Structure 1
Amino acid sequence: MGLFKRGNVWWASVMHNGKQHRFSCKTLDKTEAQAVYAKILLELKQGKARVKESKPNEPEKPELTYAEFYEQHYLKWCKGRQSYYASKKYFLKVLPEWFKKLRLDEIKTRELELVQNHFMELNCSIATCNRYLSIIKASFTKAEEWGIVSEQQLRAIRKVKPLKGESSRLRFLTEEEIEKLISNCDKEIYPIVVTALNTGMRKGEILNLKWDNIDFRTGFIYLEKTKKRLS
């Protein structure tokens, strides 16, 4: 009897009425699993609970919101592995609240298209919109590898295409190219490169920025000449 892991999700094994039962604690966190396990044992002792055993062929996934998964698991994995961790940490701040509160299993093609529309309505550049989409897709790729979401859901996520409209001569850097670029930046050029990657701003626009152009409360950068706001 006790706790054990199946994939990345914690499970528990208990004896009840002479039979051994296994059930999912529906969490990746051991402390949370211990609390669930202790509660079940107490309720069984008091006769207040019935153990419903989880079927081995039914994948059990923790009921995480996207924000919880991103902050508690994906960002922790990114830290120390990817040199552009700071920009991925900032990404959570610009996501709309309704998207953050969605459970992972609720996010499909439609939800990603809606979040694309959200950033377009904020007048974000196409490059920025596509960068944000790539971050969401990358996080779901890890979630599928960890057994948190299904392969079928990941396929639905990947159906959402980047926005078109920029010159065909342009292309987007891959995750690996971005990592190599930032890892080779010195301290002086690092903030310029990170700003360019996250906003799509030109070099001249970045170098001509003034503190008055930046709204730290909303996370927007305002460009006076183009009258655009970039996040």
Structure 2
Amino acid sequence: MGLYKRGQTWWISFSYNGRQVRQSTETDDKKLAEKIYHKVLTEVAEGKWFERKQRTETFAEMMNRYMQEHSAVKKRSTIRDQASLKHLLPFFGTFALREIHPSHISRYKADRLTAKAAPGTLNRELALMKHAFTLAIKEWGWAKDNPVKMVSMEKEAPHKDRWLTYGEEKRLLKVCPEWFKDIVVFAVDTGCRRGEILSLFWRHVDLQKEVAVIFGKKTSQWRGVPLTHRLRDILASKQAPQKVQSLRDSTVFCNATGLAVNVHELRWAFETVLQKVGISDFRFHDLRHTFATRLAQNGVDLFTIRRLLGHRPYVTRSGTHIITWRVFEGASTCSTPVWIT
């Protein structure tokens, strides 16, 4: 009794893992019902039926789990992910994961581009969706394929590398809140990445030896960063109101309320001061470019710059070190190439 009728609708019956399964074909056309029946038998024989038919999790359920287990843990990406979901959920929310195909994602891309979404914004939304599908496949067993991988990302205009002139730096520091000014100076004088600065603890700062020990998450290595005289003075003044021992387990850089600075607060503060002084097309990461470019302008060799920036060279199987670098536009006095990311 593989194919039978209930009322006007055809049903199919088959055996799966020792149990009898009955399901509706949702059609009153016998020929179509027969095709559906034979297709199901083929999927059962190939071991695909359970994966495709038994998983009913929706896109909304997948993203809810993703936000709870991954985005919330990272914290820094939560706000960005929430912004992406404002566009993803209305389109994909009610879809079962097995129902989402590359054609749906292409339709979503077209709609977002019609709505004047920037290519970078759209790429971040697709990247979030792709990562969630990857977890649903590898860790949760909710899906078999990642449809986002089959859709191309949008081409983004490359960012024009910039570095801060001494005049721009003076104007910038003049309008910075005191707590943020210290961060900007530290970035310019050490070339540290944003995350390295925000995660710096007092126990890793030695003012007597004029050095800060930085852990590079990108390289998973520790490195010593020399402190300039103005940095030493700034850090000493920040230590002065309290005993060093009480500061030991505290982050070096805090906001006006005494709490550790998070990446979103830093981004908002940086965009605000840039707007006040009229500096455009400039990122916080460009302060790192500024550090490297100034060293090069003063004749510091490439390998010293690389070590100060905390880079690790890429080594091929043959043991050859490959160095990548570029000279920043406008650094006309720069006689040494600068290697930086």
TM-score, structure 1 normalization: 0.48
TM-score by length of 2: 0.34
